[in-house]
Structure 1
Amino acid sequence: MSFTHINQNGEANMVDVSEKTVTARIARAEAFIEMTPKTLDMIIKGDHHKGDVFATARIAGIQAAKQTSQLIPLCHPLMLSKVKVEFEVQADQNRIRIESLCKLAGQTGVEMEALTAASVAALTLFDMCKAVDKAMVISGVRVLEKQGGKSGHFVASNQGE
């Protein structure tokens, strides 16, 4: 197996997907952001002076998925048919789990879009709360599931942990 974004001369290369079959493609990704109990409580209660932290982070994640090809040099611009960003408060671990879903009918996968959505949603939560909690930690960014294309169906183990 070789890297798809490196040509035979070892140079960066955008993969030619023009001969690939159009199929339904789905990817889910997750990220976590840990914080102090006080910060988490403030978010849950909606007491943040900047407003609805979850709504802002959700919109940021959706916008980021749509901009992935502008951020990651060799990604193809995609016509996403669905982007979803959800939050799960895990109070017992003082963290928020972010899960993204990206879908399309196309010739290339949407894993990078899902990863970008989850990552930027986490970064937005950090940005909105950094004034009260500078020690927040973003971690665990990964693909949870990928469907479509010739590589088939992938599901990560230990989801949501």
Structure 2
Amino acid sequence: MSQFTHLDSRGAAHMVDVGEKVVTHRTATAMSRVTMNPQTLAMIVEGRHHKGDVFAVARVAGIQAAKKCSDLIPLCHPLMLTKISVELTANTAESCVEIHATCKLDGKTGVEMEALTAASIAALTIYDMCKAVDKGMVISHTRLLTKTGGRSGDWQADE
């Protein structure tokens, strides 16, 4: 039997059957970072971007992305999320925007992919809105930070 839950004994991809799993409260928080020129970050923070409020648009994009995760990633289950938050913080010391996305639900499968998708799409939205002034932006540090609930229990990334 494969160690990968999305592969059957023959190695074929399939959606995992979660029908017999117990409903538990589950959360996941993921992050991403967009590094940019200091002038670009200042423009965002000071509200001088001609396209509007970059943080507001990125936040909404991240929330929408979490809700659409199962449409984007083929073997993800459609989930009834109870909470999605996307927080964006300007880090002037490192000239970047740090994104933290948290998803919650009471269900039979985890929300790690939804949190990762929210953080990723928020980062891509920042890039899209600012690419006209800073094509050299770098999206990085996209990773899961924490997850709770489920059979495997709680998990936290190393610092």
Shared fold, TM over 0.5: yes
Partner of 2:152: 151
Partner of 2:13: 12
- 1:88 CA displacement: 1.4
The one-letter code sitting in structure 2 at the alignment partner of 1:139 is: S
Distance 1:7 1:13 in 2: 7
How many correspondences in the alignment? Answer: 158
Alignment of 1:124-143 (within 5 A): 124-143=125-144
The one-letter code sitting in structure 2 at the alignment partner of 1:41 is: A
Partner of 1:109: 110
Partner of 1:48: 49
Distance 1:125 1:96 in 2: 9
- 1:157 CA displacement: 1.6
Distance 1:98 1:132 in 2: 21
Partner of 1:63: 64
Partner of 1:118: 119
Q: TM-score, normalised on structure 2?
A: 0.98
Query: Among the aligned pairs, what percent are the same residue?
Result: 60
Distance 1:115 1:123 in 2: 12
Distance 2:36 2:98 in 1: 12
Distance 1:93 1:40 in 2: 10
Distance 2:34 2:27 in 1: 24
- Following TM superposition, the consecutive aligned residue runs of length 4 or more in structure 1 with deviations greater than 2 angstroms are none
How large is the Cα RMSD of the aligned pairs? 0.7
- 1:26 CA displacement: 0.2
Unaligned runs of 5+ residues in structure 2 are: none
